[in-house]
Chains A and B, each alone.
Chain A
Amino acid sequence: AQSVTQLGSHVSVSEGALVLLRCNYSSSVPPYLFWYVQYPNQGLQLLLKYTSAATLVKGINGFEAEFKKSETSFHLTKPSAHMSDAAEYFCAVSDLGSASKIIFGSGTRLSIRP
């Protein structure tokens, strides 16, 4: 089965600084990769989705992620952090056995320092 590993359960950056949230997937090339964001006491919102059409995927709120097969990575970045970016971020992968089933990483909590 597919899996994803998110490095760093908590990341803190200053407002205006680069945001980098790391995600590595298991070795088999997955059909799809996702990043979701969860604000406190809310459900998950899709930030972006990789579908093999392009290795650099642009999402909402200025986020983007790059698929690197050689590194089995799908890191999420944003050039300049905003206070409103503070949330929990989840990397996810579609399961090989069932493309509909999505497997989530353990999450990274992003804090923004004023």
Chain B
Amino acid sequence: NAGVMQNPRHLVRRRGQEARLRCSPMKGHSHVYWYRQLPEEGLKFMVYLQKENIIDESGMPKERFSAEFPKEGPSILRIQQVVRGDSAAYFCASSPAESDGYTFGSGTRLTVV
């Protein structure tokens, strides 16, 4: 049973480009969460999704960021017109139900140059 798969592991984008980060939850997990970790900081909640629904996006920046978890395929975190401040590690986690504790992926490290 594969764990939470995130790709790519490393992503380099120039300012103004788009970044698309993918997350495939563990088999049987219907809850997906995205977190951002800035250098030397803890994880900040961004968004919580279930299949085809955004449950809580209170941590998402108002502009340029969006997330989806379609009926088929991985969850996607999309960042449009990236800026240097978007450089961070983005972690996806999944759980089979509420409060089971998350299983984390290895993260995508985004570098904006």
Task: Judge if B7 is at the interface, Cβ distance under 8 Å.
Answer: no
* A106 cross-chain contacts in B, Cβ below 8 A: 41-42
Beta-carbon contact of A43 and B45 below 8 Å = no
Task: Judge if B95 is at the interface, Cβ distance under 8 Å.
Answer: yes
* B107 cross-chain contacts in A, Cβ below 8 A: 42-43
- Smallest distance from the beta carbon of A40 to chain B beta carbons, Å? 11
Beta-carbon contact of B105 and A94 below 8 Å = no
Partner among A31, A98, A100 whose Cβ is within 8 Å of the Cβ of B95: A100
| Chain B, 45-92, CB within 8 A of any chain A CB | 45, 48, 55-56, 91
Beta-carbon contact of A100 and B43 below 8 Å = no
| CB closest chain-A residue, reference B44 | A104
How many residues on the A side are at the interface (Cβ–Cβ under 8 A)?
24
* A104 cross-chain contacts in B, Cβ below 8 A: 35, 42-45
Task: State in angstroms the CA–CA spacing of A99 and B43 once bound together.
Answer: 17
| CB closest chain-A residue, reference B6 | A43
- Smallest distance from the beta carbon of B98 to chain A beta carbons, Å? 4
- Smallest distance from the beta carbon of B99 to chain A beta carbons, Å? 5
Task: State in angstroms the CA–CA spacing of A102 and B102 once bound together.
Answer: 9
A45-B104, A100-B48, A100-B99 known; A107 vs B42 contact (CB < 8 Å): yes
How many residues on the B side are at the interface (Cβ–Cβ under 8 A)?
25
| CB closest chain-B residue, reference A94 | B99
Task: State in angstroms the CA–CA spacing of A44 and B56 once bound together.
Answer: 21
Task: Judge if A103 is at the interface, Cβ distance under 8 Å.
Answer: yes
Task: State in angstroms the CA–CA spacing of A105 and B98 once bound together.
Answer: 20
A-B contact pairs, 23 of them (CB 8 A): A32-B99, A32-B101, A43-B4, A43-B91, A44-B43, A44-B102, A44-B104, A45-B104, A46-B101, A94-B99, A99-B99, A100-B33, A100-B55, A100-B95, A100-B99, A101-B33, A101-B48, A101-B56, A102-B101, A104-B42, A104-B44, A104-B45, A107-B42
Which residues in B have some Cβ–Cβ distance to A below 8 Å?
4, 31, 33, 35, 41-45, 48, 55-56, 91, 93, 95, 98-99, 101-107, 109
